[in-house]
């Protein structure tokens, strides 16, 4: 879990650098809109993962991640409207 967090931090940092570069180049029309779409999608995925980790920590009692809660949390985050009912939450 710790390695995943470190990998996400590194990826987030790289995405931030790319976002800064793209904002600086915004004066020039974006040539490759597909790359911009992928970057935005990746940024949203990273943010969703961070939010999931924050929720996981908030659900714990001792400020320790309880990995057993992860499947339930991911099911709810999958925007399944029936997830809470299925999981009896």
pLDDT tens for each residue of the chain, 89 residues long: 778 888 888 888 888 888 887 776 665 555 578 888 888 988 988 888 888 788 788 777 777 777 777 777 777 777 555 656 666 65
Per-residue confidence (pLDDT) for residue 32, from 0 to 100? 79
Per-residue confidence (pLDDT) for residue 84, from 0 to 100? 60
Q: How many domains does the chain have?
A: 1
Which pTM does this prediction carry? 0.45
- What is the domain extent for residue 35? 2-86
Report helix, strand and coil shares of the chain as percent, to nearest 5: 75, 0, 25
Per-residue confidence (pLDDT) for residue 61, from 0 to 100? 73
Per-residue confidence (pLDDT) for residue 82, from 0 to 100? 64
């Amino acid at each position: 879990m710790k390695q995943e967090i470190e990998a996400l931090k590194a990826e987030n940092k790289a995405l931030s650098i790319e976002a800064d570069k793209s904002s600086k180049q915004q004066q020039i029309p974006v040539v490759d809109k597909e790359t911009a779409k992928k970057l935005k999608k990746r940024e949203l995925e990273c943010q969703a993962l961070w939010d999931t980790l924050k929720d996981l920590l908030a659900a714990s009692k001792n400020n320790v991640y309880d990995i057993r809660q992860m499947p339930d949390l991911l099911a709810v985050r999958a925007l399944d409207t029936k997830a809470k009912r299925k999981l009896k939450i």
